[in-house]
Amino acid sequence: MDYWKEDTDCCSWDGVTCDDMGKGHVTGLHLQWNGLNGTIPSNSTLFLLPYLQVLDLSHNPLLKGSLPEANWSNPLHMLDVSYTNFSGRLPDSIGNLKSLTRLDLRHCKFIGLVPANSLGNLTRLRYLDLSVNNFTGNILSSISNLHNLSLLNLSINNFTGNIPLSLSNLHNLSWLDLSVNNFIGEIPENLTQKEMDGDDGGVDGTKDSIARTCRKEYDDA
């Protein structure tokens, strides 16, 4: 960007935050809505900054890129590439980011199977949005272990498989959207759905069968 000058302290650049220890460690890149374009390769050092906690590249629709396949491990709390042209597969290395609390990949061009075992390692996640991509496979069983989730949006993909009863173990979940996929089965009985698009809110495997908006409440009993 034009206002990033090589001969100045990067901690003074717009969108860059550093630690308060005076050591110049970059801890945040807040680059959303910046009109960024070009391609960020998966081996970019951007992903490997050792103290990085926030990486927000969202709402840059001309920005292309892919996520690192290996050697990706830093204290990221937030990864947001939503509303960009990031593409490819979600790599197994995502499971190394065990400090993640927010993962937002909505409205991108990701494809293929989600590495369910790796995703299941992200036990601190509170916000997981994979909507409007072309992900496939069955990931709900691994997600059932993410007990801190408050939002789960998997809508408008090609996910398949049964909806497991263990989904009801997500006691902190306040927003659930599984719509426009190929799931089969029924949402667990102790999940009460509101604002349903359909008559009964059932899940029958057709792409339009699950409500766009599903709010989960727990029975008092």
Give long-range contacts, CB 8 A cutoff, 24+ apart: 151-154.
151/126, 151/127, 151/175, 152/128, 152/176, 152/177, 153/106, 153/128, 153/129, 153/177, 154/130, 154/178, 154/181
How far apart are alpha carbons 43 and 45 in whole angstroms? Answer: 6
How far apart are alpha carbons 72 and 84 in whole angstroms? Answer: 21
Q: How far is CA 110 from CA 70, 107, 180, 181, 200, in A?
A: 17, 9, 16, 15, 31
Pairing of strands 102-104, 158-162: unpaired
- pLDDT greater than 80 at residue 158: yes
- pLDDT greater than 90 at residue 97: yes
Beta carbons of 73 and 96 less than 8 angstroms apart:
yes
How far apart are alpha carbons 213 and 196 in whole angstroms? Answer: 6
pLDDT tens profile 54-82: 999 999 999 999 999 877 878 999 999 99
pLDDT number for residue 104: 98
Domain boundaries 10-208, corresponding CATH code: 3.80.10.10
Candidates 129, 178, 185, 128; CA nearest to 158 is 178
Pairing of strands 102-104, 37-40: unpaired
- Predicted TM-score (pTM) of the model is 0.85
Candidates 208, 199, 162; CA nearest to 181 is 208
